[in-house]
Amino acid sequence: MDAQGGPTTIIATMSRVDRATRKALRERERKERSTARRSSAPELAARYEALFEQLTRAHCVKYERRDWGAIAETGPVEPAVRAHALEKKARRALTNYRPGIIDGLLGLQADKRRALAERVLDAAKKDADLYGRAKRNADLHNLDVALAEPVAALDFGAIETALKAHIPARELAPILEGLGVDMPSAGRLVVHVDVLELDALPDESVRLNDAGRSVHALLTPTARREMHLANVCSVVLRVGLEVMAVVPIERLDLLARCALPGAKDGGEAEHHPILHVRLGHEALKAMDLRRLEPVSTVAALGARLDWEIGRGFAPIPIEDLKLVAQRGRDAPERLAAPA
């Protein structure tokens, strides 16, 4: 939480207690794993591959910017109306059911009616899902219509609301620890990303052998540090893309923080800034992130970071970047980040 009165969170930053708890759970799982018989089911290799992609290829999505002008011109839509179409159809089938000769001879009437009744319940659930989806889409569109003008004017409160509505929090939450934005000065947006610490990444790989079975192998410290670098760069690019897709701004600052072991407190992890990069709308339009490797892309954008293969990330100086707003009585609140 911000000492200035409590920032509003886009994706909640993990607390120190949560990080410590998760770290303890991971340590316990590793100890149990070391003595357990490992499964060689082939789906474990596919699961690891999907996790690796999630961690290091999060940026591989198409950049599409919201057209707030077109949204404003469209205007609001009427709220969704419950139709019950599928339920009505299924209920007619149940009402109109008449046992045939075969059903009568074999005593299948009760089973057929039971099956038809279950279809009515299933259809009602599908109707409810369709209605809920339509209502959410209509509500979101109408919210966008109301936000279109202030977002285009870079009103910070409207930007906050729009980001909360459109950032794919469910997809991003597993690959970062927190997300927030700040506006240090008019028209300048800073995105704060609390990324996963090294300990939260896999410490073993799972591959298929020639026999089609999963084989587990411990990752070397070097391999884990390289994965961490790719993870941080990929997540920062993805977050920048998502924010830029919503906010009609020409460029933004991205600052990644990470829990790094501290020297003064017996190794307890402390958050430090580890990467800063400026990302522009024109650059995103020119790039197809789906085809690009995250580390080289971030480097090409002129990122500031301190990473060595023998130790991983180290804190970077950011005082000269002026990434934090000078708070006054009328200054906008910061939306998230650190804690």
pLDDT of residue 326: 56
- Residue 99 shares a structural domain with residue 189: no
Asked if residue 210 is part of any domain, the answer here is: yes
Sheet holding 188-195, edge to edge: 176-185, 188-195, 251-261, 269-280, 304-305
Q: Give, as one character, the DSSP assignment of residue 198.
A: G
CA 31: distance to chain centroid? Answer: 30
pLDDT of residue 79: 74
pLDDT of residue 7: 35
- Residue 199 shares a structural domain with residue 101: no
Quote the tokens at residue 192: 């704060």
Q: Give, as one character, the DSSP assignment of residue 186.
A: T
Quote the tokens at residue 146: 């109301």
Mean pLDDT by 10 residues, the chain (339 residues): 44 77 81 75 92 96 95 84 82 82 74 84 85 84 94 94 94 93 90 94 92 91 97 98 96 95 60 96 95 97 97 95 64 39
Asked if residue 148 is part of any domain, the answer here is: yes
Q: What CA–CA distance (Å, rounded) separates 97 from 113?
A: 8
Q: Which contiguous run of DSSP H or E holds residue 283?
A: helix 281-286
Asked if residue 145 is part of any domain, the answer here is: yes
pLDDT of residue 219: 94
Give the angle subtended at the CA of 256 by the CAs of 253 and 261, to the nearest 5°: 155
Q: Which contiguous run of DSSP H or E holds residue 313?
A: strand 312-313
pLDDT of residue 58: 97
- Residue 232 shares a structural domain with residue 92: no
pLDDT of residue 113: 82
Q: What CA–CA distance (Å, rounded) separates 159 from 252?
A: 13
- Strand-pairing partners, residue 205, are 217
Q: How far is CA 231 from CA 12, 14, 186, in A?
A: 19, 18, 31
Of 128, 153, 178, the residue at which a domain comes to its end is 153
pLDDT of residue 204: 93
pLDDT of residue 262: 65
Q: What is the gyration radius of the CA atoms in the chain, in angstroms?
A: 26
- Residue 183 shares a structural domain with residue 35: yes
Quote the tokens at residue 103: 């059903």
Does residue 322 come out as left (phi exceeding 0), alpha (psi in the -120 to 50 range) or beta?
A: left
- Strand-pairing partners, residue 216, are 206
- Residue 85 shares a structural domain with residue 231: no
Q: Which contiguous run of DSSP H or E holds residue 159?
A: helix 156-166
State the total domains in the chain.
2
Whether the model pTM is above 0.85: no
Q: Which of 193, 194, 218, 197 is nearest to 206 (CA)?
A: 218
> Domain of 86?
75-153
pLDDT of residue 228: 97
- Residue 50 shares a structural domain with residue 79: no
- Strand-pairing partners, residue 189, are 252
- Residue 147 shares a structural domain with residue 248: no
Give the angle subtended at the CA of 253 by the CAs of 250 and 259, to the nearest 5°: 155
- Residue 234 shares a structural domain with residue 175: yes
- Residue 120 shares a structural domain with residue 236: no
